């Protein structure tokens, strides 16, 4: 007879956490939702890539003499921010073929008397039209001036001075923060649901009675929250790595350092938000005994998350507004709102510290109170337990 | 010794347990009987630390049961509890680990118990796919896998078919032979009578009878003697000193003897009437004993211990 050793608290918590991870990692809901989130992030990167590659690259085919047109088109393109490539085309038929194949964005037909014509596939890109119109016009003016015996004038170039160089990267950071918040929000909801379902599953199947004969309620709760938390953290880190690598690979962002900083901020706030919501969801779920009753107790928390999410989206446009400022301190809402304000550069360091401290205090309270409710309600397997009953119940 | 000592428990105004106490020796099986709601489950849950008693204690080898000792107890709750979506083998391994076995030992023990209980082929199936009887076996495997020092089983036989009952009974007897004290509750009194070394009957919050089935028979049911005398006239035994006629039908007589009455004088009286076809102490079944003590719960009386 082998005498089994006695696992300590750490070992028990690890066992429970290990079971949560190994069960959930094979769970269809988890796999599908992970794939969807990953696709969304990749989609956001791809969208940026398309926007970036589409903007400013114009290929113009020219039928006829292009010796004067080429420099004019390129100079004009530069003025409107387009990188113009000029290719020669043999005739109108060749131009139509090139358009259909997508080799050129537009084909300019000149010479052969009459006004020059611009052929396009479906509809003219304003940037393309402006470039071609400007180039043709400039050439015509030059020609007429020369005919009138006037030398072409040197048109003065307008110099551009950037007065607020910070504006642009902030916009980019805010965009990243928004993508981050969408992921954070989705994961908080998902992991919160997992915690809640897990608690009710153990209650409804009465397996909790067997578990509690070998461990204390807090060990079970801690194992569950830590296990699912590690899973959520791994997920958000994996998504971040994929997103950042994609963004760097396709050169989507201008300042990679800021991208990584913003993503790290989001990940850190995820950890705080998860700790808070996991404890709240677990305590709420422990009050009911059947999966069917779960919605009635976790809806208030879910609504809080949804409100936080919409305030976060709103505060991207107005990061210094009073709504964004106030909610970025409120525990529960701060994990969603503060990252956006931080990314927008609207939060001073002490504001961030204050929000984090408030959040930590809230987590400590919620874990304590939630743990008591959980321990008190866990073995009440008939119907719904009131919070007050759970708090008054004897603890094991 | 596994001792349940003076357990008291009230839920609000409802006094469920009022001084429940009994002991179970190592290597013996204790049958725990009582009507529905008598407090059997509460008693077992107190032992497992799921309910805190208002007074009293449960001890194993002289030590109060704590979390550490409870990990060496195999427990089967009344309401079965398993993770429905977890595979049979993994589930049993998990419970073995919670009871303190390391990963390798837990996997080995799980393998062994799952096949011993005839579930070898279902090892990789989720529990919810199994029949109720097989789920019960998984539950038992979860209780036995850590080689517990004590077994506490709440209604382990309920819901099992006769074959299942036999194989579970065999499994429990096997544990008893290895020196494990086994406590189980059951409404199947014939089973309790067949398997248990001692029996406890709980009624009104306290033990109204404890002891071996033999002791209960002798002390609780009085002394019933069945005498079959086909030739005797009706009322042949009415005048015998210290004898009460319980029933008499065509010479088939049931007599209750007062303490100290000599059964041999009854035999002599019977022989005087003619032929005696049957003369024996009639052993009441546990069911009869149960009805008797539960129906009229007088002053609680601990017979043995």
Residue B21 has pLDDT above 70, yes or no: yes
B174 vs B256: CA distance, rounded Å? 39
pLDDT of residue A395: 61
Q: Which residues of chain A have pLDDT under 70?
A: 1-6, 51-56, 80-81, 112-114, 151-169, 394-396
CA distance B255 to B238: 10
CB-CB under 8 Å, A2 with B98 = no
Closest CA of chain B from A25, distance in Å = 13
Report domain extents, chain A: 56-147, 168-392
Give the Cα separation of B220 and B292 in Å (integer): 8
Question: H helices of chain A, where?
Answer: 9-24, 28-54, 69-80, 92-101, 126-147, 167-204, 207-212, 217-249, 256-285, 291-317, 322-327, 334-343, 349-377, 387-392
Concatenating the DSSP letter of every residue in A78-140 gives HHHT-EEEEEEESSHHHHHHHHHHTS-SEEEE--SSSS-EEEESSS--HHHHHHHHHHHHHHH
Buried b (16+ CB within 10 A) or exposed e, A285-308: bbbbbeeebbeebbeebbebbeeb
In which band, very low, low, confident or very high, does the pLDDT at B2 lie, cut at 50, 70 and 90? very high
| Closest Cβ–Cβ partner in A1, A15, A216 for B147 | A1
**In chain A, positions 215-234, which contact chain B (CB-CB < 8 Å)?**
215-216
* pLDDT for residue B168: 86
Supply the DSSP symbol for A348: -
Q: Which one of A11, A208, A214, A217 would you mutate to disrupt binding with B, by most B Cβ within 10 Å of its Cβ?
A: A214
Mutate to test the interface with B, among A213, A217, A218, A377 (most CBs of B within 10 A): A213
User: What is the phi/psi pair of residue B49, to 5°?
Assistant: 75, 20
pLDDT at A44: 81
Residues 87-116 of B with CB under 8 A from A: 94-95, 97-102, 105
Give the max Cα distance, chain B. Answer: 77
Residues B271, B143 within the same domain: no
Most A CBs within 10 A among B97, B99, B130, hence the mutation to make, goes to B97
How far is Cα A354 from Cα A230, in angstroms, rounded to an integer?
26
- Chain A residue numbers with beta carbons less than 8 Å from the beta carbon of B147 are 1-2, 4
Judgement on whether residues B106 and B195 belong to the same structural domain of the protein:
yes
Residue at which a domain ends, from B211, B236, B267: B211
**CB-based burial of residue B272 (10 Å sphere; 0-12 exposed, 13-18 middle, 19+ buried)?**
exposed
- 3-state SS class at B8: strand
User: Looking at A57-66, B183-192, B223-232, which range is the least confident one?
Assistant: A57-66
Q: What is the pLDDT of residue B259?
A: 79
The confidence score (pLDDT) of residue A162 equals: 54
Structure tokens that stand for B303 in this block: 């017979």
Residue A100, burial from CB neighbour count under 10 angstroms (0-12, 13-18, 19+):
exposed
A14 inside 8 A of chain B by CB: no
Domain residues for the domain of B47 are 2-211
**How many interface pairs between A and B have CB atoms less than 8 angstroms apart?**
81
3-state secondary structure of B250: coil
Q: Which of A4, A12, A212 is facing B146, going by the closest CB pair?
A: A4
Determine the Cα–Cα distance for residues B143 and B151; give it in Å rounded to an integer.
Answer: 8
CB of A285 closer than 8 Å to CB of A297: yes
Report the sign of the C-alpha dihedral through residues B12, B16, B22, B27, in that order. negative
Beta strand pairing status for B198-203 and B224-228?
A: unpaired
Closest CA to B50 of A197, A212, A204, A384: A212
pLDDT score at A154: 62
**Are B161 and B268 in the same domain?**
no
Q: How many structural domains comprise chain B?
A: 2
Q: Is B231 found in the same domain as B194? A: no
Of the candidates A12, A210, A394, the beta carbon closest to that of B52 is on: A394
Q: A209, B82: Cβ pair inside 8 Å? A: no
Cβ–Cβ gap B48/A216 under 8 Å? no
What one-character-per-residue DSSP string does B97-160 give? Answer: HHTT--HHHHHHHHHHHHHHTT-GGGTTSBGGGS-HHHHHHHHHHHHHTT--SEEEEESTTTT-
- Identify whether residues B185 and B95 lie together within a single domain: yes
Q: Which of A298, A271, A295, A270 is nearest to A283 (CA)?
A: A298
Do B276 and B198 sit in the same domain of this protein? no
Residues of chain A in contact with residue B75, where contact means CB-CB under 8 angstroms, are 210, 213
Whichever domain contains B65, its CATH number is: 3.40.50.300
Reported ipTM: 0.77
Q: Which of B50, B68, B99 is facing A396, going by the closest CB pair?
A: B50
Please give the span between the terminal C-alpha atoms of chain A, in angstroms, as a whole number.
30
Q: What percent of chain B has pLDDT over 70?
A: 95
- What is the helix (H) or strand (E) element at residue B34, kind and residue range? strand B29-34
Among B52, B73, B94, beta carbon nearest to A396? B52
Residues of chain B contacting residue A197, judged by C-beta atoms under 8 Å apart: none
Instruction: Say if residue B248 is in the same domain as residue B117.
Output: no
B198 occurs within a structural domain = yes
Reduce the DSSP state of residue B298 to 3 states and report it: coil
**Would you identify the CATH topology of the domain A56-147?**
D-Maltodextrin-Binding Protein; domain 2 (3.40.190)
Which percentage of chain B shows pLDDT scores above 90?
Answer: 38
Cα B73 from Cα A4, distance rounded (Å): 11
Same domain, B207 and B268: no
B180 three-class SS: coil
Do the beta carbons of residue B190 and residue B1 sit within 8 Å?
A: no
Q: Give the domain-ending residue among B178, B211, B244.
A: B211
Comparing C-alpha atoms, which of B19, B21, B1 is closest to residue B10? B19
Contacts of A213 in chain B (CB under 8 A): 48-50, 70, 73, 75
Q: B75: buried, middle or exposed (CB in 10 Å: 19+, 13-18, 0-12)?
A: buried
Residue B286 has pLDDT above 90, yes or no: no
Residues B23 and B144 grouped into a single domain: yes
Q: Is residue B87 part of a domain?
A: yes
**CATH number, residue B233:** 3.30.70
> Would you state the pLDDT for residue B257?
83
Of A192, A236, A227, A249, nearest in space to A38 by CA? A236
**Interface test mutation site (partner B, options A2, A3, A4, max chain B beta carbons within 10 A):** A4
Q: What is the rounded radius of gyration, in angstroms, for the C-alpha atoms of chain A? A: 31
Are B207 and B7 a contacting pair, CB within 8 Å? no
Pairing of strands B73-76, B2-11: unpaired
The answer to whether residues B262 and B137 belong to one domain is no
Q: Which two tokens stand for residue A228?
A: 């699912």
Residues B26 and B133 in one domain: yes
Residue recorded with tokens 């069960």: A23
In terms of Cα–Cα distance, which of A329, A368, A330, A328 is closest to A344? A328
CA distance A363 to chain B (A): 28
Report pLDDT for A53: 61
Where b means 16+ CB within 10 Å and e means fewer, A208-222 reads bbbbbbbbbbbbbbb
Q: Is residue B65 located within the same domain as residue B152? A: yes
Q: Please tell me the distance from the alpha carbon of residue B112 to that of residue B130, in angstroms, as a whole number.
A: 19
Is there a domain that residue B30 lies in? Answer: yes
- pLDDT on residue B263: 84
pLDDT value of position B302? 43
């Amino acid at each position: 007879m082998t005498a089994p050793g006695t696992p300590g608290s750490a070992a028990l918590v690890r066992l429970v956490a290990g079971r949560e991870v190994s069960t959930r990692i094979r769970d269809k809901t988890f796999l599908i939702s992970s794939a969807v989130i990953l696709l969304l992030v990749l989609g956001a990167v791809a969208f940026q890539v398309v926007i970036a590659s589409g903007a400013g690259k114009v290929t113009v085919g020219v039928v006829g003499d292009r010796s004067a047109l080429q420099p004019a088109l390129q100079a004009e393109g530069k003025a409107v921010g387009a990188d113009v490539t000029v290719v020669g085309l043999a005739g109108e038929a060749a131009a139509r073929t090139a358009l259909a194949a997508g080799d050129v964005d537009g084909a300019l037909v000149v010479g052969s008397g009459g006004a020059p014509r611009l052929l396009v596939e479906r509809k003219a890109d304003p940037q393309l039209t402006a470039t071609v119109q400007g180039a043709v016009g400039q050439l015509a003016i030059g020609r007429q001036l020369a005919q009138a015996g006037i030398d072409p004038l040197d048109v003065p170039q307008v110099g551009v001075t950037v007065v607020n160089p910070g504006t642009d990267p902030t916009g980019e950071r805010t965009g990243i923060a928004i993508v981050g918040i969408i992921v954070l929000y989705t994961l908080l909801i998902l992991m919160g649901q997992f915690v809640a379902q897990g608690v009710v599953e153990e209650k409804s199947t009465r397996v909790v009675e067997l578990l509690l004969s070998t461990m204390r309620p807090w060990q079970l709760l801690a194992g569950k929250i830590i296990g699912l938390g590690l899973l959520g953290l791994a997920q958000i880190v994996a998504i971040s790595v994929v997103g950042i690598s994609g963004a760097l690979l396709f050169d989507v962002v201008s300042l990679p350092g800021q991208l990584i900083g913003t993503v790290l901020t989001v990940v850190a706030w995820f950890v705080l938000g998860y700790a808070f919501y996991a404890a709240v969801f677990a305590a709420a779920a422990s009050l009911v005994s059947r999966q069917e009753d779960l919605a009635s107790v976790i809806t208030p928390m879910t609504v809080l998350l949804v409100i936080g999410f919409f305030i976060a989206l709103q505060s991207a446009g107005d990061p210094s507004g009073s709504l964004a400022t106030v909610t970025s301190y409120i525990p529960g809402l701060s994990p969603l709102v503060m990252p956006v304000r931080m990314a927008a550069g609207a939060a001073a360091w002490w504001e961030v510290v204050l929000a984090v401290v408030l959040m930590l205090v809230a987590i400590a309270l919620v874990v304590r109170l939630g743990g008591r409710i959980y321990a008190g309600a866990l073995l009440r397997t008939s119907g719904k337990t009131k919070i007050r009953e759970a708090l008054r119940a004897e603890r094991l | 010794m596994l001792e349940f000592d003076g357990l008291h428990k009230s839920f609000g105004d409802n006094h469920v347990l009022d001084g429940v106490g009994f002991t179970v020796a190592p290597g013996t099986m204790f049958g725990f009987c009582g009507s529905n709601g008598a407090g059997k489950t509460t008693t077992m849950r107190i032992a497992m630390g799921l309910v805190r008693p208002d007074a009293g204690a449960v001890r194993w080898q002289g030590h109060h049961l704590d979390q550490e000792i409870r990990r060496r107890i195999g427990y089967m709750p009344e309401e079965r509890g398993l993770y429905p979506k977890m595979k049979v083998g993994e589930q049993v391994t998990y419970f073995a680990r919670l009871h303190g076995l390391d990963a390798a030992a837990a996997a080995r023990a799980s393998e062994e118990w799952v096949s011993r209980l005839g579930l070898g082929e279902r090892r990789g199936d989720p529990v919810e796919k199994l029949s109720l009887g097989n789920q019960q076996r998984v539950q038992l495997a979860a209780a036995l896998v850590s080689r517990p020092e004590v077994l506490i089983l709440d209604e382990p036989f309920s819901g099992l078919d006769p074959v299942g009952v036999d194989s579970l009974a065999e499994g429990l007897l096997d544990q008893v032979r290895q020196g494990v004290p086994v406590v189980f509750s059951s409404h199947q009194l014939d089973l309790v009578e067949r398997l248990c070394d001692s029996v406890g009957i709980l009624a009104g919050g306290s033990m109204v009878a404890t002891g071996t089935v033999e002791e209960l028979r002798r002390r609780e049911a009085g002394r019933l003697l069945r005498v079959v005398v086909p030739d005797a006239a009706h009322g042949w035994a009415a005048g015998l000193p210290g004898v009460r006629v319980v029933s008499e039908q065509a010479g088939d007589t049931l007599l209750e003897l007062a303490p100290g009455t000599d059964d041999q004088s009854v035999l002599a009286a019977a022989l005087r009437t003619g032929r005696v076809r049957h003369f024996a102490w009639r052993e009441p079944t546990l069911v009869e004993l149960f009805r008797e003590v539960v129906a009229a719960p007088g002053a609680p009386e601990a017979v043995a211990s």
